[in-house]
Amino acid sequence: MPELSTTVKQKPLVEEQMISPWREGWKNFKKNKVALIGLFIVVFFILIAILANYIAPYGFNEQQFKDKHLPPSAKHWFGTDDFGRDIFSRVIFGARISLSVGFGSVVGSAIIGSFLGIIAGYYGKWLDAIISRIFDILLAFPSILLAIAIVAMLGQSLQNALIAIAIINVPTFGRLLRARVLSVKEEEYITAAKAIGMKDSRILLHHVLPNSLAPIIVQGSLAIATAIIEAAGLGFLGLGAQPPTPEWGKMLSDSKDFIIQAPWTVFFPGIAIMLTVLGFNLMGDGLRDALDPRMKN
């Protein structure tokens, strides 16, 4: 009976000691006010993208030629463009396009880059040499020029722009995971797993990958901001979204000739890009400070 009471008393102590690093990371993240502002901005634009059909007062391609280039007013909060389309509605629907490209391209590049980086770092030798040289070749080109070349080969479309952005970001995730795996695979628990005959696939999935998720999440949040800018750049050049898709970069391109006559046609899509990128950058910096043990005091 005394032994039972001792066990019961020790259980809460054990539970307190088993603090999840993710819970601790979230606790540290909440202390960063600037990062919370970034999270609020990101959540705000995500909700706008999800609820675009209910928020937008007009269709994104609803044209009223008699109302073209109207300044901001109670009827058209952000004014209208050269086709009489409501810019507020187009900016709202543009959030859906830009965020889809940002998230989609980063998820694709993170999966491919992480896989190649883990293989290169864990097995090394000739596999590491080949994969690392592929990364070096991709990084040798300016990212926007490489994206332009890929889209030029695949064809001008939003889907091809997404593929191009995913490809140019693969080396970033690959080299990050390779460096992480080179460190993790020298840990004692990896050596112990090999000693008891655990398969490489299980070691990678159950030990190496879980201990490498933090840098992937941090890099992913920062990469989304970069992907949105790259998608806007391709759209501005006419290589991304095609008319009448309300992509923010394409909206800037379509309005550049009216910057003096109707500056609001450029101002509001530009502000949307700036705020979204700022939100992801602030959130990414906060995640880095919260999840990276080296940043803790």
Q: Mind listing the pLDDT tens digit for each residue in 106-153?
A: 999 999 998 999 898 888 788 889 999 999 999 888 888 899 999 989
- Residue 294's pLDDT is what? 55
- Residue 215's pLDDT is what? 84
Two tokens, residue 62 = 């609803």
The amino acid present at 195, given as its one-letter code, is A
Two tokens, residue 297 = 């005091």
Q: For residues 55-66, give the mean pLDDT.
A: 86
Q: For residues 20-25, give the mean pLDDT.
A: 70
- Residue 194's pLDDT is what? 75
Return all residues near 12 (Cβ < 8 A) that are at least 6 apart: none
In the predicted structure, residue 37 carries a pLDDT above the cut 90: yes
d(CA 265, CA 88): 10
* Stronger pLDDT, 196 or 135, i.e. the higher one: 135
- HSE, CB side, 13 Å, CA atoms: give it for residue 284: 18
Domains of the chain, by residue range, sit at 23-295
Whether the CB-CB separation of 29 and 287 falls below 8 Å is answered with yes
Q: How far is CA 262 from the centre of its chain?
A: 32
In the predicted structure, residue 6 carries a pLDDT above the cut 50: no
Per-residue pLDDT band for 22 (boundaries 50, 70, 90) equals low
Q: What is the CATH number of domain 23-295?
A: 1.10.3720.10
- Residue 292's pLDDT is what? 65
d(CA 97, CA 91): 10
In the predicted structure, residue 35 carries a pLDDT above the cut 70: yes
d(CA 205, CA 96): 33
- Residue 184's pLDDT is what? 80
Whether the CB-CB separation of 224 and 101 falls below 8 Å is answered with no
Residue-by-residue DSSP string for 3-66: HHHHHHHHHHHHHHH---HHHHHHHHHHT-HHHHHHHHHHHHHHHHHHTHHHH-SS-TT---GG
Lowest mean pLDDT among 41-50, 51-60, 61-70, 207-216: 207-216
CA 41, 27, 285, 33 dihedral sign is: positive
Q: Mind listing the pLDDT tens digit for each residue in 85-108?
A: 999 999 999 999 999 999 999 999
Q: For residues 39-47, give the mean pLDDT.
A: 94
Instruction: For residue 186, report the phi and psi dihedrals to the nearest 5 degrees.
Output: -90, 0
- HSE, CB side, 13 Å, CA atoms: give it for residue 275: 17
Burial class (CB in 10 A: 0-12, 13-18, 19+), 153: exposed
Two tokens, residue 118 = 């883990």
- Residue 286's pLDDT is what? 85
Q: For residues 58-62, give the mean pLDDT.
A: 86
